[in-house]
Amino acid sequence: MTDGTRLADALTREHHAIDAGIEAYLADDTDPQPLREAMHALRRHIYLEETFLFPPLRATMMMPIFVMLREHGELWHEMDAVDAALETGRADVPERCRDLLSLLDLHNQKEEPVVYPHADADLAPEVRGQLARFLAEGTFPDGWVCEKA
């Protein structure tokens, strides 16, 4: 990234911000806005990984990328379940959020040390630039769904 920040660090910070939004909702489930923002941020984050990060890494990291894509599908289904519970006012929203946080924790424990270092080391400069620009200001298309959802 142009300011000297490593892409791996920026991607990891997004993980922490998403977790913090879900945790903020769990701390005060009377305000769903932090949860809604975290869910939007997670969908955007998955989009950026599947659009910018994973495609150029597939050739050299086929199995780890396959695992990440499969887990994105699981996360996506859990997000859909959280959204449905939230929209219908069901009492299981906190339980669904805790399930989502557990999935995220398991996913991030693999993704951060295995995949993210390759964002800085292995991506072509133009791809790193695209990813950095998207991290700074990008949005994902309405209706986009991850590959394995």
Per-residue pLDDT of the chain (149 residues; tens, 9 = 90+): 444 569 999 999 999 999 999 999 999 988 999 999 999 999 999 999 999 999 999 999 999 999 999 999 999 999 999 999 999 988 999 999 999 999 999 999 999 999 999 999 999 999 999 999 999 999 999 999 999 98
Alpha-carbon distance of 105 to 92, in angstroms, equals 20
Task: Tell me the pTM.
Answer: 0.94
CA distances from 65 to 60, 78, 98, 130 (A): 9, 20, 25, 19
Give the contacts of 132 (CB within 8 A, at least 6 positions apart): 1, 2, 7, 10
Residues 65 and 57: beta-carbon distance below 8 Å: yes
Domains of the chain: 7-136 (1.20.120.520)
**Structure token pair of residue 12:** 């990891």
